Each structure stands twice: as structure tokens, then as C-alpha cells.
């Protein structure tokens, strides 16, 4: 949603009328922009083909990591692929449209050098009052926000680094003004920072924390980061400013596995201290764990689950290793991929061939990881105080969802889900045309 909100603001700044569509696009727009995702890729390709048939005069663009990774499929469907950061359309829209009109299948727009030059995301096109992230916050609606781009690490399975990975920062003043407007204009009460490594520049973090306490209303916020970037004194400062939740990648207790995939291991004592400090400060921790590498066994997965229980973060996400097209990992194990149907690439469905496990066995272990982690008195007792403001809602929604997911995964492991997410796009019109 954040990319579409940026594009909406950019197109409006350029003088165009804009609408955000799910499933059904208006047929009177001059430009359609798709930011495709893996599990709905087939739907988005079909939507592009349909637009080419029904609105042949309009330009259709594909942007984002997946368009960057598999441009040929999007070009074959009839769209022009914009490689680089889509927000560069603020400066390159005319060039891209001219290239598309001349039959260019792929055009590279580069990256945004100064993030402060971008307009603030425009949330008015969305049903933003319904935006909520229940495991992070107790106050809603929630906005997505970025104060930096780029990652200092090179994990070979990560799709984030496909488009651009140079670290760039927004000024604290710009971020705080965006938050202030979000509070005043949209009524946002919580903000989720989508920086892959929040905390790289501690002086900026300090300025942000101080500025957040001067916003018109006290807000909650959450971040995603690397454990080594957030020492205890920084955690205290952020907590006092409204930090409620931190998402971190633990992945595996086995450092050798992490090194093979260019993931920098974190010392065991540092991880335990971090989770404990957050718990003492009342900050929720959302920890990611990976199971389902080709050489995984029941024993290695059991070790991941055991380590998760020992750390005991507020929430543990157990994701099945899924190769993202365009990553180094995808190329390394291409001959081990059992299904190239991207509808299965949801981190809940096994898509590889494994040395010592069947896909059905891995799916069963995936379900066990969730049930055995959450259905423990130690988990409930430890985190009840932190979760109390939203505990009733969590019980009503989260537990049944986990049980349903576990049942679905064990019963049908590698079959495509019949449920499909909506196909999303942005449609833009010239300023002299009526809005769709």
C-alpha cells in the first residue's frame, strides 16, 4: 500500500486525477500502474491483458521487485516494466510514457537520491480508517511510513535488495511532519515504520524519538530492525516516545546455516538479552524463524522450535523457506524447486524438493511450530500484561486463524489455494479528464 500511496501523491502533484482499484479497473484512464505480488501474479497478468484488449490507447506499467525480477512475463502481457524505484516517476513520467508509446518493453528510471523531495504518501484514496496491525498496536488506524531505504546486509534470499540497496535517509523533520499530518488530517494513531533496518543512524533515531513526543497526539509506532542496532538505551528512548513493537529476524539457531545464505549471525546471548530487555520495557517482539531449507530434517526444525520457545518473543512467525525470483537463492536452488506456480509462494506452502522430508511432512511441522509455540502456559503468562489491551480481540481472531491455517496446511499441502487476493493497481487520468 505504501508504494501506491506514494504514486497517488506523485501523480496528483503532476496534475493528474488518480484512483486506487482492486479487481475492477475503470476503462477511461490514460495510465494504469501495477505493483505485482507473487501470490496474485497470475491475476495481475490477466488484468494487464484485459486492459490491453479493452483500453489499447492507455499505457500500462509494471513496477516493484517482482516486475524487476521477472520482466519478460509482464512485457509479454502487454505492459512496460519500470525498473528502479517507482517514485522516480515524479521526474521521469514523460520519459517513461514516451518509451512505452515507442514500444519499449523495459525502461530504467534509477533511484531517488533525496528522499525528502518526495511528496508525502496520499492515503485519501484508501479506506484508511480500516488500516490496523493488531499484533503491533492497540490504537488505530495505522499508517505505513519510511524514514530510510536500503539494507546493509546481503542475505541471498531477500527480495528487498533487488531494486536498490544503497542506504538513504529522510531528514527527521520530514518524517515528523508526515506523522503530524497523518495525525491531524487522517486521524492516524499508530505508525509502522517499513525501514528494513530502523536504527542505522542513532542520531536520527534520537531526533525522531524527541520529536514524536511533541506531536499533536501521543501515537504508537513499531519498527523492523536488526537486533545489534538497538541497544538498551535506544530501546528506552524509543519506548518513551511510543514504541510498542519491534520485528526482528532470528531465522535459525544454527550459525552455519545462516552464513551459507549470507545472513550475519547474531550472538545467542545478544538475542536473549534483546528479547528480555524488550519484555521488561513492555515492548512486543515479533521474531521471524525460517524452516524448510532443502537439507532440513525433523530434528533441525525441532531445534528451531525449541530455540523460539527459549527466547519466548511475544509473537513468533515460522515461515517456510520460499525462493523469490531474482534472488541469488532462487538461482542457486532452481533445480530443487518443485513448483513454479507462484500462487504457492506464500511462505506457508512447501515449494521445494527436500532431502529428508516430504512436502506433506514439512507442512505438518509448520503447523506444529505454531500450535506448540502458542499453546503454552509460559507464553501466555509471560506476555499477558503486554497483550492485555488487545487480548480479547486476539483470542477472538488470532487463535481461530492459527487453527484454521494449521488444518488447511496439513490437509492440502501443495495444492493451490482457491482463495485469491484482490488484484491491485493505480489508475491515473490527465487533469482535463473526469475522474473514474
pLDDT of res. 24: 84
Q: Categorise residue 187: left if φ over 0, alpha if ψ from -120 to 50, beta otherwise.
A: left
SS (H, E, C) 149-203: ECCCCCCCCCCHHHCCCCCEECCHHHHHHHHHHHHHHHCCCEEEECCCCCCCCHH
d(CA 49, CA 159): 26
> What is the number of other CB atoms lying within 10 angstroms of the CB of residue 288?
17
d(CA 329, CA 263): 12
pLDDT of res. 161: 84
Please report, in tens digits, the pLDDT of each residue of the chain (436 residues total). Answer: 999 999 999 999 999 999 999 888 899 999 999 999 999 999 999 999 999 999 999 999 999 999 999 999 999 999 999 999 999 999 999 999 999 999 989 999 999 999 999 999 999 999 999 999 999 999 999 999 999 999 888 999 999 888 877 899 999 999 999 999 999 999 999 999 999 999 999 999 999 999 999 999 999 999 999 999 999 999 999 999 999 999 999 999 999 999 999 999 999 999 999 999 999 999 999 999 999 999 999 999 999 999 999 999 999 999 999 999 999 999 999 999 999 999 999 999 999 999 999 999 999 999 999 999 999 999 999 998 777 765 666 566 555 655 555 555 444 333 333 333 445 666 666 544 333 3
The phi and psi torsions of 64 (rounded to 5 degrees) equal 100, 180
The phi and psi torsions of 53 (rounded to 5 degrees) equal -75, -40
Q: What is the pTM of this model?
A: 0.90
d(CA 153, CA 245): 22
Q: Residue 60, CB half-sphere, CA atoms under 13 Å: how many?
A: 27
Cβ contact 152:167 at 8 Å: yes
Nearest to 63 by CA among 40, 46, 81: 81
d(CA 176, CA 211): 7
Helix/strand/coil for 60: strand
pLDDT of res. 386: 74
| Widest distance between CA atoms in the chain | 64
Burial track 10-35 (b if 16+ CB lie within 10 A, e otherwise): bbbebebbbbbbeeebeeebbbbbbb
Domains assigned to the chain: 2-115+421-429 (3.40.50), 128-411 (3.80.30.20)
The phi and psi torsions of 155 (rounded to 5 degrees) equal -55, 130
Q: Which helix (H) or strand (E) holds 221?
A: strand 220-225
pLDDT of res. 428: 63
* Nine cell digits for residue 18: 488518480
> How distant, in Å, are the alpha carbons of 17, 28, 46, 184, 256 from that of 50?
22, 14, 6, 40, 48
Amino acid at each position: 500500500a505504501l508504494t501506491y500511496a506514494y504514486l497517488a501523491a506523485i501523480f496528483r502533484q503532476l496534475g493528474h486525477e488518480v484512483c486506487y482499484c482492486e479487481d475492477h479497473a475503470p476503462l477511461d484512464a490514460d495510465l494504469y500502474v501495477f505493483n505485482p505480488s507473487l501470490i496474485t501474479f497470475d491475476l495481475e497478468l490477466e488484468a494487464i491483458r484485459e486492459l490491453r484488449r479493452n483500453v489499447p490507447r492507455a499505457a500500462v506499467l509494471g513496477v516493484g521487485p517482482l516486475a524487476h525480477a521477472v520482466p519478460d512475463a509482464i512485457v509479454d502481457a502487454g505492459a512496460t516494466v519500470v525498473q528502479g524505484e517507482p517514485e522516480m516517476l515524479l521526474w521521469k513520467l514523460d520519459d517513461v510514457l514516451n518509451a512505452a508509446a515507442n514500444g519499449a518493453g523495459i525502461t530504467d528510471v534509477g533511484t531517488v537520491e533525496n528522499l525528502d523531495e518526495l511528496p508525502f504518501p496520499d492515503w485519501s484514496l484508501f479506506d484508511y480508517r480500516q488500516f490496523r496491525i493488531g499484533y503491533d498496536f492497540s490504537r488505530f488506524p495505522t499508517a505505513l511510513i519510511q524514514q530510510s531505504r536500503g539494507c546493509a546486509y546481503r542475505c541471498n534470499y531477500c527480495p528487498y535488495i533487488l531494486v536498490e540497496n544503497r542506504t538513504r535517509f529522510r531528514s527527521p523533520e520530514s518524517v515528523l511532519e508526515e506523522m503530524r499530518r497523518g495525525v491531524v488530517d487522517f486521524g492516524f494513531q499508530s505508525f509502522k515504520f517499513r525501514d528494513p533496518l530502523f536504527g542505522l543512524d542513532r542520531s536520527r533515531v534520537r531526533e525522531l524519538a524527541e520529536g514524536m513526543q511533541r506531536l499533536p497526539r501521543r501515537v504508537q509506532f513499531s519498527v523492523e530492525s536488526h537486533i545489534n542496532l538497538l541497544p538498551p538505551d535506544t530501546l528506552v528512548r524509543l519506548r518513551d516516545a511510543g514504541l510498542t513493537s519491534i520485528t526482528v529476524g532470528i531465522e535459525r539457531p544454527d550459525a552455519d546455516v545462516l552464513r551459507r545464505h549470507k545472513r550475519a549471525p547474531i550472538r545467542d546471548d545478544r538475542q536473549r538479552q534483546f528479547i528480555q530487555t524488550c519484555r521488561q520495557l513492555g515492548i512486543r517482539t515479533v521474531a521471524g524463524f525460517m524452516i524448510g531449507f532443502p537439507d532440513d530434517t525433523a530434528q533441525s526444525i525441532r531445534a528451531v522450535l525449541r530455540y523460539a520457545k527459549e527466547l519466548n518473543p511475544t509473537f513468533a512467525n515460522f515461515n517456510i523457506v520460499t525462493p523469490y525470483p531474482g534472488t541469488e537463492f532462487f538461482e542457486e536452488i532452481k533445480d530443487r524447486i518443485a513448483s513454479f506456480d507462484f500462487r504457492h509462494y506464500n511462505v506457508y506452502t512447501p515449494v521445494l524438493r527436500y532431502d529428508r522430508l516430504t512436502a506433506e511432512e514439512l507442512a505438518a511441522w509448520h503447523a506444529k511450530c505454531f500450535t506448540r509455540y502458542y499453546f503454552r502456559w509460559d507464553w501466555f503468562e509471560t506476555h499477558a500484561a503486554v497483550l492485555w489491551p488487545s487480548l480479547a480481540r486476539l483470542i477472538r481472531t488470532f487463535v481461530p486463524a492459527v487453527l484454521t491455517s494449521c488444518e488447511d496446511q496439513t490437509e492440502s499441502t501443495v495444492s493451490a489455494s482457491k482463495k485469491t487476493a484482490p488484484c491491485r493497481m493505480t489508475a491515473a487520468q490527465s487533469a482535463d479528464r473526469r475522474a473514474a
